[in-house]
Chains A and B, each alone.
Chain A
Amino acid sequence: MNRTPSLVVALLVAPLALVLLWAFHEALTQPSGARLADLAETSLSRTGVGNPVTAVLLSYRGYDTMLELGVLLAALLGIWSLGRVSPGFHPPELALTAMVAWVVPLLILTAGYLLWAGAERPGGAFQGGALLGAAGVILRLTGERRLGLPSERAQRRLAIAGIGAFLAVGLGTAAAGLGFLAYPESWSKWLILLIETATTLAVGMTLAAAYPGGPPGPAGNERDAP
């Protein structure tokens, strides 16, 4: 790695950074006021959830989140399509295997809490899903070949659970004449909770399955080093 290209690139990137800083400074001085903050706050009561971030994620910009789950699904399908993968070769440390016994249930419990809390206090589907995924990764590190993941059929159903729930609710409200993803005010809390639960499971399973890579099929029962 000779020095010259990195210097040249640095000389190019530095002025770009300065320009961006200047533009950012200008942007801050523009009279955009509190941007969308006040608007989001005032209509929070009509979304049926207390946590504004969850309201934006699930209600105001639900379509964005649906497509984002699509991105996650595309990544997972891409990883699955790449075919069989040679397993990693590093023996699990003793402390890790001992720790698994209580860390995994704790992770699952916290994930459940985050999911439930997401409506009113900081938390939410993605954070919960991440913890579930983390539980899977830890299992994988301690040699559990199939990361505690269910059969292929179940994995495929779980993978599309989140986006499926979104789509079902969306098409349902559209069919009911309200407009795509326009939750009726009285139901919106439960609809959001339904979607969030499905999303948590989907994100958890997707992240766990994406970690080792390889197709969703049963990875045989040989119990080798992770």
Chain B
Amino acid sequence: MDSLALAVALPLLAALLATVWPARATLLGLLGALATAAAALMVITEVWEHGQLSTALGGWDIPLGIALAADGLSAALLAMTALVGLAISLYAAAYFDGRQAMHFWPLWLLLWTALNGLFLAGDLFNLYVTLELLGLSAVALGALGGDRAAVAASLRYLLVSLLGSISYLLGVVLLYTAHGSLDLARVAAALQPGPVAAAAMTLMIGGLTMKAALFPLHFWLPPAHASAPAPVSAALSALVVKAAVYLILRLWLDLFAPLVTTGAAMLLGGLGAAAVIWGSWRALHAERLKLLAAYSTVAQIGYLFLFPPLFQATPPGPGRDDLLAALVLMILTHGFAKSALFLAVGVIQKRSGHDRIAELGGTAQRLPATTFTLGLAGIALIGLPPSGSFTGKWLLLNGAFASGQWGWILVILTGTLMTAAYVFRVLSRAFNLEPTPPGFVTDARTELPALLLAAIAAIGLGLAAAPLWPLLGGGEDGT
């Protein structure tokens, strides 16, 4: 049962080694990435067999000690983090030169530790510490770009992240004051509707929506994700933002499920809808590829927040399991697609020196593999078949029709068309009168990880999504 602890300890160990031997940071980083992916795989197979896992750390049972817990939801996100992390590591090994690599690898592995720690945490205060570790390492990585815009954007991201964390912490303190325990399951058992629970929920979910960049609080994301180096932006957009969304989902399902009023759910849904429209609109008008990708993240996060109102309206049962599986499917697909998009943009930027969409023509023509990755990632972002988000959007629409909430359907359709507009605005640049490139792949070490991620998002998750339902424990307890 130690695989849970290993999934956190291994990346941490690799981070420490990379700090001590900066000269061999890249090698240690790659080995660490492989080891972490293997540990994550172990956890996933165990969850696939036994359903839920939990170990008390330090030999002390809850409530005194801290428990690591893994169920279907955390296993799915752990798997995504492992795969995306592996691809980002391979890409970064070729992307960064000596000096930057020295700084990148320890921080990247710390980020990975925080992610694994967060997905497996079962203790509310431990979640606070992992959130802080995640925030700080993400900010430090974001500032790696070195230019003024990157540092300013990272600073603003840090401030927003701190505000979110402290608000989350106050919520935890209120819960501890009232129920005397920090473990998620115990607090959930003791929680009854009342001012304490409502205040704690508002503080915690409010803080986390700040870190998940939900619509009005998204201003910090585009500059931060657009100015960071490509592998870092990929990690930020695909993994870090998702951790906050995961946490909101975890608190929603496990802790505050009985308390959530339809009003609160509608509010989140409304903000999500606004995010979809606003994010897509800004992405349509972005001049730079990375800004386009960052605004696309804001829009795609909006989609994820369309689920709460539908959750409220569907009674527990197969309908709700479909919705949960659709939500997880969209989180995973966006994770793979967005990281592939940012990695591909990184190749373009490195090769042509800029990522301005207007002058993209030449490079897009000369890099067929990267343009193909952009195409596949675009398909997954729009939600066209056979991508995972197509199935996700299908189930979301199905839920909306079944529960009679027509408003969301309009939002999803406009969002899909606007996403198609800004994706094909980029792809149409790939067809011009430049000379034909000799081969399909120009630089394997950076283009192949991106292509693999895009393929998983656009084809793999679409066709092979069926195991998600039993993994999420559809049917019995519906968590």
A binding-site residues for B, Cβ under 8 Å: 19-20, 22-24, 26-28, 30, 32-36, 39-40, 43, 59-64, 66-68, 70-71, 73-75, 77-78, 80-83, 156-157, 159-160, 163-164, 167, 170-171, 173-174, 178-183
B136 touches A75 (CB 8 A): yes
How would residues 271 to 286 of chain B score, 1 for a CB under 8 Å from any chain A CB and 0 otherwise? 0000000000000000
- Indicate if the CB atoms of A170 and B19 lie closer than 8 Å: no
Number of interface residues of B (CB under 8 A): 58
Mark each residue of chain B from 123 to 153: 1 if its CB lies under 8 Å from any CB of chain A, else 0: 1011001101100110110011010000100
Rounded to whole Å, the gap between the CB of A149 and the closest CB of chain B is 16
Q: Which residue of A lies closest to B65 (CB)?
A: A60
CA distance A178 to B57 in the complex (A): 10
In the complex, residue of chain B having the shortest beta-carbon distance to the beta carbon of A215: B103
Contact, CB under 8 Å: A80 / B103 = yes
B80-88, B176-184, B368-376, B452-460 - interface stretch: B176-184
Q: Which residue of A lies closest to B132 (CB)?
A: A71
| Contact status B58-A36, CB under 8 Å | no
CA distance A223 to B19 in the complex (A): 28
Are A74 and B129 in contact, with the CB atoms below 8 A?
no
Of A19, A61, A74, A82, the residue contacting B133 (CB under 8 A) is A74
Task: Known contacts A81-B107, A83-B146; decide if A156 and B19 are in contact (CB<8 Å).
Answer: yes
Q: Using Cβ atoms and an 8 Å threshold, which residues of chain A touch B5?
A: 170, 174, 179-181
Contacts of A26 in B (CB 8 A): 178, 194-196
Scoring B6, B16, B144 by chain A CB atoms within 10 A of each residue's CB, the highest score goes to: B16
Contact A22 B180 (CB under 8 A): no
Residue in B107, B151, B176 whose CB lies within 8 Å of A74: B107
Partner of A33, one of B16, B151, B176, B180: B180
Q: Is B2 an interface residue (CB 8 A)?
A: yes
Identify which of B12, B15, B146 gathers the most chain A CB atoms within 10 Å of its CB.
B12
Nearest residue (CB) in B for A177 is: B2
Tell yes or no: B387 within 8 A of A by CB: no
The distance in angstroms between the C-alpha atoms of A73 and B103, with both chains bound, is: 12
Distance of A33 Cα from B190 Cα, bound (Å): 13
Identify A24's interface contact among B15, B63, B137, B174, CB under 8 A.
Answer: B174
B2 touches A64 (CB 8 A): no
The docked-state distance in angstroms from the alpha carbon of A60 to that of B436 is: 64
Any chain A CB within 8 A of the CB of B333?
no
State in angstroms the CA–CA spacing of A179 and B16 once bound together: 21
Give Cα A204–Cα B55 distance, bound, in whole angstroms. 33
Scoring B residues 61 to 78 as 1 if CB is less than 8 Å from chain A, else 0, what string do you get? 001111000000000000
Q: Which residue of B lies closest to A40 (CB)?
A: B64
Query: B60 interface residue, CB < 8 Å from A?
Result: yes
- Sampled A-B contacts (18; CB under 8 Å): A19-B199, A26-B178, A26-B195, A27-B178, A28-B177, A33-B180, A34-B180, A35-B176, A61-B58, A61-B66, A64-B66, A64-B129, A82-B143, A160-B16, A167-B13, A179-B56, A180-B2, A180-B5
- In angstroms, Cα B123 to Cα A43, docked, is 20
Known: A26-B195, A30-B179. A63 touches B57 (CB 8 A): yes
List B contacts of A27 (CB < 8 A): 174, 177-178, 196
Is A43's CB under 8 angstroms from B60's CB? yes
For window 146-176 of B, CB contacts with A under 8 Å fall at 146, 151, 170, 174, 176
Cα-based distance from A81 to B139 in the complex (angstroms): 11
Contacts of A60 in B (CB 8 A): 58, 60, 64-65
Task: Contacts A39-B63, A60-B65, A68-B129 known; list 9 others, CB within 8 Å.
Answer: A24-B177, A27-B177, A32-B179, A32-B190, A59-B58, A61-B66, A63-B57, A73-B106, A182-B58
A81 touches B110 (CB 8 A): no
Query: Complex: how many Å from CA A82 to CA B199?
Result: 39
* Bound-state Cα–Cα, A36 to B133, Å: 26
Whole-angstrom CA separation of A78 from B111 in the bound complex? 12
